[in-house]
Amino acid sequence: MIAARHAREPVMPAARAPGLRIEGVSLAFSGRSVLDRLWLAIAAGRWHALLGRSGTGKSSLLRVLAGLQSLDGGRVEVDDGQPLQGRIALMAQEDGLLPWLSARDNVMLGARLRGQPRAASIERARSLLEQVGLAERSGALPATLSGGQRQRVALARTLFEDRPVVLMDEPFSRLDAITRHALQALAHRLLGQRTVVLVTHDPLEALRLADAVSVLDEGAVRHTLGVEGHAPRDIRSAALLAQVDTLWSALQGA
Amino acid sequence: MTAERTGTGTKASRPVSGRRLDAATRMLPALLVLLVAWQAVVSIGGVAPWILPAPWQVLQALFEHRHALAGHAVVTGAEIVAGLVLGVTLGVGSAVLLCVVHGARRWALPLMVISQAVPVFALAPVLTLWLGYGPGAKVAMATLIIYFPVVAASVDGLRHTDPAMLDLARTLGASRRAELWHLRLPAALPSIGSGIRVAASVAPIGAVVGEWTGSSAGLGHAMLQANARLQTDLMFAALACLCALAIALYAAVDRCLDRALYWQGDHLHLSSTPDPRATPATTDELPTR
């Protein structure tokens, strides 16, 4: 594995990662409340997992943070006082790769959409693909890649943007267990010092990767848990399994 | 070949050129049976040649009048191609406007749908009156007849861009123009392509109906003239030319669309049978710490 050597080093963000404060955010779709005066603090440069069952507002909260959804109430504060717009990168459950572009061009999609010259970023795209272990497939179309490979291209595209805040919406949920495990570690390594908000419905994934886990239910935070030790953690450790128990009861009680 | 795939949106498998040849070869026996049956009906049934000429007679007429027929075919072919280009350009252009201009779809689309109730063939005499006996009226007919299918397919494609991709594009800082050009249009291409396939198969109808209404040249004109003079063999020869022209046009358009939609073919989907050569460096089992 030639690429793994390079993958050890996280890709450091150019800008310092800010912390976020979500203050009493409310959101409703045609009368149905999705987020209900939600408060949450997300520490700078850490991974924060949002855990909950389907339809508890996790993804909506992520869309709010991404600036894709206007609010009905409350606000999102950034601890450095700068606007969040232009400082976030999104990585979703669907890899969002454009089927007519090669892996490399998909990594550089942002540059293409902003009308930046291709030549300026081609070297950077190549090195990012190398870091996710896909240097040899840079010319391949997404349809010829496996699910895990596609999600790695999506990871490289996220890194290409070099945003200090990364929002992940169940990015590993469609992968098989082994692939998921490998990609979790890779993502954690490469996303380095960024502020990451990870939406997931898997308690184990949350505890393996995040420094804090919040359980959401009916559009509000029911429970927040700090996780000890350095991620990615060993999913077989006794401490982690004990916390899985705590999260399970929080999820079921929620 | 035409009947197999007309108007279907997503494409059937079309992996290698060998398959293409297979399809053509597979049609031959059926064609042969048809010709033999035709000949049998004429010889055994004793049908008069001015009702139904034998295939052999048609072939003779085809050879005899080859220069005249070729001239007519060029005229009709040019009308069809011009109508196709014009209709597709106007259709895709209108669809883009309908999707880009705020509120345009809500106001203009119902009108366009209702306008479809007007039988386009009934407009042929009017078009001839306005545009004369030249190719103008025929091109206009072909354009009119394909305009709506192209608009409908294109609007459908442009409206159904994957919302996750649009979200992503917004977080990547795409302008509306970049979003349209790099995302929505290419994503709509399969839909637009199926509209163009329909267009390619109906454009000849428009041109020929236009020629029937009033013309001085073209295969439709030749058919009408031959029919009036009871030269049924010549009429069939002209019809055969028209069929060949329409099939050739469809095949050419189909091929161009296949090229343009290189990323769509079924042969790309290797997920079920992964490429064995790609394994060592690119498996998902990265070493974890």
For B157-210, what is each residue's pLDDT tens digit? 999 999 889 999 999 989 999 999 999 999 999 999 999 999 999 999 999 999
Domain contains B68? yes
Is A68's CB within 8 Å of B171's CB? Answer: yes
Report residue A52's pLDDT band, with 50, 70 and 90 as the boundaries: confident
Place of tokens 């929620």: A254
Looking at chain A, the whole-number percentage of residues with pLDDT higher than 70 is 94
Q: Quick one: closest CA in A to B284, which residue?
A: A179
Strand partners, A29: A32
| Identity of the residue in B172, B262, B264 whose CB atom sits nearest the CB atom of A113 | B172
Q: Write the CB contacts of B135 (distance below 8 Å, at least 6 apart in sequence).
A: B75, B78, B79, B82
**Residue in A96, A147, A148 nearest the CB of B168:** A96
Instruction: Please tell me the least confidently modeled range out of A102-111, B151-160, B276-285.
Output: B276-285
* Of residues A89, A104, A77, the one with CA closest to residue A13: A89
Q: Reply yes or no: is the peptide bond before residue A232 cis, omega within 30 of 0.
A: yes
Interface size, chain A vs chain B, as Cβ–Cβ contacts under 8 Å: 113
Q: How many angstroms from the chain centroid is the CA of residue B112?
A: 21
Q: Could B171 and A90 be called an inter-chain contact, meaning their C-beta atoms sit closer than 8 Å?
A: yes
Report the predicted TM-score, pTM, of the whole model to 2 decimal places: 0.79
Asked if B25 is an interface residue toward chain A (Cβ–Cβ < 8 A), one would say no
Nearest to B167 among A68, A134, A146 (CB): A68
Closest by CA to B89, choosing from B156, B150, B177, is B150
3-class DSSP string for chain A? CHHHHHHCCCCCCCCCCCCEEEEEEEEEECCEEEEEEEEEEECCCCEEEEECCCCCCHHHHHHHHCCCCCCCEEEEEECCCCCCCCCEEEECCCCCCCCCCCHHHHHCHHHHHCCCCHHHHHHHHHHHHHHCCCHHHCCCCHHHCCHHHHHHHHHHHHHHHCCCEEEEECCCCCCCHHHHHHHHHHHHHHHCCCEEEEEECCHHHHHHHCCEEEEEECCEEEEEEECCCCCCCCCCCHHHHHHHHHHHHHHHHC
Asked if the structure places residue B6 within a domain, the reply is no
B285 — pLDDT class (breaks 50, 70, 90): very low
Domain assignment present for residue B20? The answer is no
Q: Which chain A residue's Cα is nearest to B275? A: A144
Residues of A in contact with B262 (CB under 8 A): 100
- Among A2, A146, A157, A234, which would you mutate to test the B interface (most chain B Cβ atoms within 10 Å of its Cβ)? A146
Read off the amino acid at residue A9: E
Do A181 and B288 lie within an 8 Å CB cutoff?
Answer: yes
Q: Report chain A residues whose CB lies below 8 A from the CB of B264.
A: 99
Which positions in chain B touch A100 (Cβ < 8 Å)? Answer: 186, 189, 262-263
- B130 domain residue, yes or no: yes
**How many angstroms separate the CA atoms of A141 and B278, rounded?**
14
Higher pLDDT, B84 or A252: B84
In a domain, B30, yes or no: no
With a CB cutoff of 8 Å and minimum separation 6, the contacts of A141 are A99, A100, A101, A102, A103, B263, B268
Q: How far apart are CA B213 and CA B205, in angstroms?
A: 12
**Residues whose CB falls within 8 Å of the CB of residue B207, separated by 6 or more in sequence, listed in order:** B76, B79, B80, B83, B138, B139, B141, B142, B218, B220
Contact B164 A96 (CB under 8 A): yes
Show Cβ contacts of residue B194 under 8 Å, excluding neighbours closer than 6 positions. B7, B8, B9, B153
Per-residue pLDDT reduced to its tens digit, A12-36: 666 788 999 999 899 988 888 888 8
Close Cβ partners of B167 (under 8 Å, ≥ 6 residues apart):
A63, A66, A68, A90, A92
Flag if B164 and A92 touch (Cβ within 8 Å): yes
Neighbours of A184 (CB within 10 A): 23
Q: Is the pLDDT of residue B4 over 90?
A: no
Measure the CA–CA gap between A221 and A56, rounded to whole angstroms.
10
The answer to whether B172 faces chain A, any CB pair under 8 Å, is yes
Report all structural domains of chain A as residue ranges with CATH numbers, in order of start: 14-87+163-254 (3.40.50.300), 99-161 (no CATH)
Q: Is residue B151 part of a domain?
A: yes
* Residue B194 belongs to a domain: yes
DSSP B266: G
Chain B residues with beta carbon closer than 8 angstroms to that of A88: 171
What CA dihedral angle connects B272, B26, B191 and B112, to 10 degrees?
-160
Q: What's the number of domains chain B is made of?
A: 1
Q: In this predicted complex, what is the ipTM?
A: 0.85
In B, residues 241-280, which contact A (CB 8 Å cutoff)? 262-264, 268-271, 274-275, 278
DSSP B12: P
CB-based contact B262 A100, cutoff 8 Å:
yes
**Closest CA relative to residue B87, chosen from B221, B247, B239, B197:** B197
The Cα of A253 is separated from the nearest Cα of chain B by a number of Å equal to 32
CATH number of the domain where residue B231 is located: 1.10.3720.10
Which residue do the tokens 């990168």 mark?
Answer: A89
Say yes or no for a CB contact (<8 Å) between B278 and A137. yes
Interchain pair B281, A2: CB under 8 A: yes
Q: How does strand A165-169 pair with strand A88-91?
A: parallel
Residue at token pair 């919406």: A169
| B258 exposure class (CB count in 10 Å sphere: 0-12, 13-18, 19+) | middle
Write down the mean pLDDT value for chain B. 83
Instruction: Give contacts of B 132-171 with A, CB under 8 A.
Output: 162, 164-165, 167-171
**Short-list A136, A127, A92, A135, CA closest to A11:** A127
Question: What pLDDT sits at residue B185?
Answer: 94
Yes or no, beta carbons of A113 and B179 under 8 Å apart = yes
Give the chain B residue nearest A168 (alpha carbons): B168
What share of chain B has pLDDT > 70, as a percent?
Answer: 84
Is residue B40 included in any domain, yes or no?
Answer: no
For residue range A179-189, what is the model confidence (pLDDT) as tens digits?
888 889 889 98
- Across the interface, do B174 and A114 touch by the CB < 8 Å criterion? yes
Between B277 and B254, residue with greater pLDDT: B254
- DSSP H helices, chain B, are 2-5, 17-45, 55-64, 66-100, 104-115, 124-131, 135-159, 163-171, 176-179, 185-213, 219-228, 232-260, 279-282
